[in-house]
Amino acid sequence: MITTIVFDAGETLTRDDRHWGRWADWLGVPRHTLSALVGAVVAQGRDNADAVRLLRPGIDLRAERAAMEQAGVTEHLDDSDLYGDVRSGLTALRKAGYAIHIAGNQTVRAGELLRALDLPADSVSTSAEWGIAKPDPGFFERVLQTTGTDPSATLYVGDHPANDIVPARAAGLRACLIRRGPWGHLWSDDPNVTPDWKIDGILELRDLLGCRHT
């Protein structure tokens, strides 16, 4: 029986529009250009950061992020970045008896910003805080250490087949693909990706899983 639900962050709970817009402005290219390149690399099954590398071959992303921070071009998140069903969906799942956690490939700053949103979750963790990122199996080991649950009792929800669904299942967790963002939509019907469930919105999970209080 599933007792715990862990959510990815980017394009599962939060939209990435602001993130890519910030990069486009920093690089001095139209936002549409970078957005189109993100779509292109996603279609090729590549890391979406390759969109930036196409614009600036050889770019050191870590150094560039540091330069952005120094220039005051900092990460920002507020309620407008959340998908519309996030607060209501997480709240409904907690009321139904599930422990809720958030863990994704994000920066330390993103973790601080997510916690500042005061979402109805028992914990918020990022790959930068843990020092290990998806799809490394160690990421999902840290997930289970954080939740304190058995893999079979833990559901991981994400939009990215290669980063979320495949490694979560390999680690013994249950997995749910949410059809959001370019990855979630484009690869949702890939026969090599076999989540336990596919959803279009968080509120669907309560109907799929039922209420643990009853």
Structural domain spans, the chain: 4-15+79-209, 17-70
Report yes or no: 116 and 78 within 8 Å, Cβ to Cβ.
no
Q: What is the mean pLDDT of the chain?
A: 94
Cα angle vertex 201, ends 196, 203, to 5°? 95
The pTM of the full predicted model, rounded to 2 decimals, is 0.93
- DSSP H or E run through 197: strand 197-199
Instruction: Give the residue-averaged pLDDT of 44-69.
Output: 93
Report yes or no: 85 and 106 within 8 Å, Cβ to Cβ.
no
Assigned fold of 4-15+79-209 = Rossmann fold (3.40.50)
Give the pLDDT confidence score for residue 50 in this predicted structure.
Answer: 95
pLDDT digits (tens, 9 = 90+) for 87-124: 999 999 999 999 999 999 999 999 999 999 999 999 99
Higher pLDDT, 20 or 212: 20
Residue 213 reports pLDDT greater than 80: no
Query: How many Å apart are CA 181 and CA 161, to the nearest integer?
Result: 12
Residue 9's SS3 state is coil
